[in-house]
Structure 1
C-alpha cells in the first residue's frame, strides 16, 4: 500500500445486520413502544411516533379506498415538512410505492411523470391541488378533511414483502425524458440496516432533512433515523440552500448526524464551528467532492457515492483533513454486500490501477425502470465476476480507479469529456484544481460555445470566495496555469456569491450566467442617496424579473425570484456600492427597501 493514499479507517464499512424488515413495520414498533418520543419536527408541525403511526394508518386506509394497491404509485406533491414524511409513510403502509414530486418541478414534467408512472393517487395540499393536470388519478387534498371521511381507521394488511415496491423516483434521462427508478422494500431495508450500523444511529440522535424531495438523498435522510427511533428535523425553505443559514440551523437544532449536498458541504467544512456543536457526522454526496475538511472540525466528514438505481449509497468513506492526505478525496469503499467491478468497453475487468466503468452488484441494486423493459435491459445487466460467478448488476456509466487499499477515485462520466481547441478535456479535472486556488471556497468549470466545432469554445470557471473578498480572476488563472496545460486554463473567471443548485441540491449548470452578465459595473457616484439606491435597485430587479416595475416593499421571491436571481442582486450591489452584502441578508430582507437600508447602514458605518 502506498503511504500517500492512506485514509482514516473506513468506519462506514461496518457490517449491517440483514433484517429485511420493512420501514413501516419499524415505525409502527416505535409507535407502540415509544409513543411520546418525537419522530419528526418541521416548519409545519411536530409528530410523535404514536401520532405518526396513528395518522399514517388513517391515511393509508383512505389511500386504499381511493385505489392504492401493491405495485401502484401514489405521488406525494408536498413541500419539505413533517406532513410530507407522514404522507410517504402512509403510502408504504397502504402497500403502494410513494412517488416523490418536489413542488418546484415544472408542470409539464409533473404531468409526464404522473402519466408514465400510471399514478393511482396524488397526495397534495390545497395550494397545489388546483394546479394538477387532469388524469385518471385520484387527488387527495390533505387540507380538506372531508377527503378522509370514507376511510376506516386502519388499513387492510397489504402483505408487504421484500420484493414489494417501496418507492419510485424519476431521474433525468439521456433521451430528454425522465425515467422512473423502482426500489423495493428489500433494497430500502438494506440501506437502513447499513446506515444505522455504520453510523451507530440510536433513539438519542437528532437527524436532519435538507435534501430536495425529488433527490434520492431525501430517502436516505428520512427512513434510517425513523427506523432507529431517532428525531428527524426538517429544515425550512431557504435554510437548505445557504451554507451560513444551514450551519446556524444545524448548531441550533443540535443535529448529531446530517447530510449536505456536495456544493454546500464543501463550504460547511471550510467554516469555523462553535465548540458546542453537537454534529458528529456530516454525510455528503451528489457531486464530485474536491475539498477536504479543515483540521480540528468537531465532526467527521463522510463522502458517499451511489446512483439512484442502487438505493442511494453504494460506496462510502471518511475524508481526512487538509494536509494529511494528498490527492482528491475518494468515494470510499463498497458498503457491505456490494460488489464493485471495474470493466472495460467489452465488459472485461481492467488491469490493476487502471480506470474503468464502475459496475455494481448487490442487494441495493433496484428492480429497474418503471414500464421501460428496453432501458432496464440496457443498464441492468448480467456480468461475470472474477470468481466466474454470474450476478445481476447495474452499469453506472461512471469512470473510477481503484487504489491499492481498495478505495475508489471518481474520475467522471464516460460521456462528460468535451473538446476545446482540438483537445479532449474533462472539466472535473480542472474543477479539482480550481477549488484549491487561493481565495476560492467552491467552484465549477463549464464550456460555452458551439458544440459543432464551428464557433470558438471557451472554458469558464465559476468561483465562490472563501472569505469576504472575491478572488482576483488573474490570480486564479495564474494558479491554474501553474498546474495545468494552457488549453485547460479557463478563459473567464466569474465570481458568484453561491453556485446555483437544482431543487435536488445538485449544480444547476443551466442557471450559470454567461461571463458578460456579471461584468463589473461602473462605480456609483459618491454620496448617492437612499432614494437613489432604491431607484437603481428597483430597475435592476425589474429587469432581472422581466417586470415593468417593482415596488420598494415587494417581496422579490413572491414576484418569481429564485436563488440565482438573488445571487446576481447581491453580486451587483456589492460591486456597485462596495458593501459586504450577503445572500443571507437578502433572504432575511428580500425587498428593495430592506436592501437599500442595509447599503445605507454599511456605508454609514464605513464612514464613521
Structure 2
C-alpha cells in the first residue's frame, strides 16, 4: 500500500524491480482496481522472471504499460540488455530471455578460453563496451580475474559475469544460471538451471529451484523445490522428471514450498532453502522389509545411502546410489 502511495502521489512513470516484488505488487494493483495511469514502463530485472509470471503481466497490463525484462550487473552500468519482444515470441516455459545488448554494452558468450560458442551452446556471458567498469577498488586479484583484455576489440576490457547463457536463433540471449550453480555429482557435471526449466513445465509449478546438498556421510545429492498454485503431488512430479531427464539429473529429494525464501533485496536466497525431510524423499511408496534377507539389505542400504528407512520397492539409484556406493553395499554384504 505504501509503495502504491509513492507511485501514485509522485506520478511515477518508470518502475523497475525484481519479479519477486513486481508480480505480487501488480496482483495487488489488479485486485484493488488501483490507478496506474502515470506508469509508462515496467521493468522486471535483477533476478530471473518466469515465463508464467511475465505472460500474466503482459496479458493483464500490456495494453496500459510497456513491460520489458532486463539484465545487468553493477560492473557494467547496471542494465546491459532488454528483452522487448511480442508476446508470441515468448518461450513456452522456463525463464524469460534477457534480450539483446543495449547502447553502451556488447555481449560475448564464450568458453573457458574466451572463444565464442555457437548458437544454442551454453557459455559464459561476458560484457564489453564503454559501460564496463575499471575494476574493484583495492582488490587487484579479483579485478584481474573478472576484468580481462577483450581479444576482439583492441584496448577494451571484458567483464566476465560468471553467468551461463546461450545465443538464441533470433539474436536474443537466454540466461541459464550462474556458472557456480554447475555441480558435479557421481561424475556428471550438471546445470541446475536445466533441471529447473523442466520442473517449470510440470502442471501448475510456478517457481522451481534445484540445489546440491550433502547427506550425513558427505555424499552429494540433488534437492528440488517447487512453488505450486495447488497442492503439489511430489510423486507425480518425480515420475515426470524421470521421464523427462537423464537419471543423473533427477533430484533425489523433492519439497513443496508455499513461497521461495528471498534476500532483503528481493532475490532468491538459495542458502535459506530448508533441507528436505525424509517424508518427501523421492521414491516408491514405502513397503517395509518382510524377510530377514530384506531387512539385512535395508539396513545396509540405509547405512551406505544415509537414509532413515528403505522399503522393498525403493530404487537404489533414485535414493542417491551410484557405482561406488554399489561396491560399498557389495563389500558389506
TM, length-normalised to structure 1? 0.40
Structure 2 CA distance for aligned equivalents of residues 421 and 266 of structure 1 = 38
Offset from partner CA, 1:212-264 (integer Å, 9 cap, x none): xxxxxxxxxxxxxxxxxxxx93xxxxxxxxxxxxxxxx799976532332344
Is 1:259 aligned to residue 16 of structure 2?
yes
Which residue of 2 is the match for residue 367 of structure 1? Answer: 134
Point out where structure 2 has 5 or more consecutive residues left out of the alignment: 281-333
Once the two structures are TM-superposed, the CA of residue 374 in structure 1 deviates from its matched residue by 2.6
Once the two structures are TM-superposed, the CA of residue 398 in structure 1 deviates from its matched residue by 1.9
Is 1:273 aligned to residue 30 of structure 2?
yes
Which residue of 2 is the match for residue 436 of structure 1? Answer: 201
Is 1:314 aligned to residue 80 of structure 2?
yes
**Which of the numbers 129, 141, 163 marks the counterpart of 1:398?**
163
Q: How many equivalent pairs are there?
A: 270
**Which of the numbers 457, 463, 471 marks the counterpart of 2:232?**
471
Once the two structures are TM-superposed, the CA of residue 368 in structure 1 deviates from its matched residue by 1.6
Structure 2 CA distance for aligned equivalents of residues 444 and 491 of structure 1 = 13
Which residue of 1 is the match for residue 150 of structure 2? Answer: 383
Structure 1 CA distance for aligned equivalents of residues 9 and 200 of structure 2 = 29
**1:366–1:324 Cα change, 3 Å:** closer
Which structure has the greater CA radius of gyration?
1
Which residue of 2 is the match for residue 514 of structure 1? Answer: 275
Once the two structures are TM-superposed, the CA of residue 343 in structure 1 deviates from its matched residue by 2.5
Q: What's the Cα RMSD here?
A: 3.5
**1:442–1:345 Cα change, 3 Å:** closer
**1:259–1:393 Cα change, 3 Å:** same
Structure 2 CA distance for aligned equivalents of residues 394 and 449 of structure 1 = 33
Contact 1:266/1:441, CA 8 A, preserved across alignment: no
Which residue of 1 is the match for residue 220 of structure 2? Answer: 457
Offset from partner CA, 1:123-172 (integer Å, 9 cap, x none): xxxxxxxxxxxxxxxxxxxxxxxxxxxxxxxxxxxxxxxxxxxxxxxxxx
Structure 2 CA distance for aligned equivalents of residues 323 and 392 of structure 1 = 33
**Which of the numbers 183, 196, 199 marks the counterpart of 1:418?**
183
Structure 2 CA distance for aligned equivalents of residues 508 and 416 of structure 1 = 13
Once the two structures are TM-superposed, the CA of residue 489 in structure 1 deviates from its matched residue by 2.3
Once the two structures are TM-superposed, the CA of residue 340 in structure 1 deviates from its matched residue by 1.2
Once the two structures are TM-superposed, the CA of residue 270 in structure 1 deviates from its matched residue by 8.4
TM, length-normalised to structure 2? 0.68
Alignment of 1:104-503 (within 5 A): 233=6, 256-265=13-22, 273=30, 278=36, 279-292=39-52, 293-294=55-56, 296-299=59-62, 300-318=66-84, 321=87, 325-326=91-92, 328=94, 329-385=96-152, 389-449=154-214, 455-466=218-229, 469-503=230-264
Structure 1 CA distance for aligned equivalents of residues 10 and 142 of structure 2 = 43
Offset from partner CA, 1:244-296 (integer Å, 9 cap, x none): xxxxxx79997653233234456678899356652553322233333241362
Structure 1 CA distance for aligned equivalents of residues 258 and 144 of structure 2 = 43
**1:426–1:351 Cα change, 3 Å:** closer
**1:373–1:323 Cα change, 3 Å:** closer
Point out where structure 1 has 5 or more consecutive residues left out of the alignment: 1-41, 44-207, 210-231, 234-249, 520-608
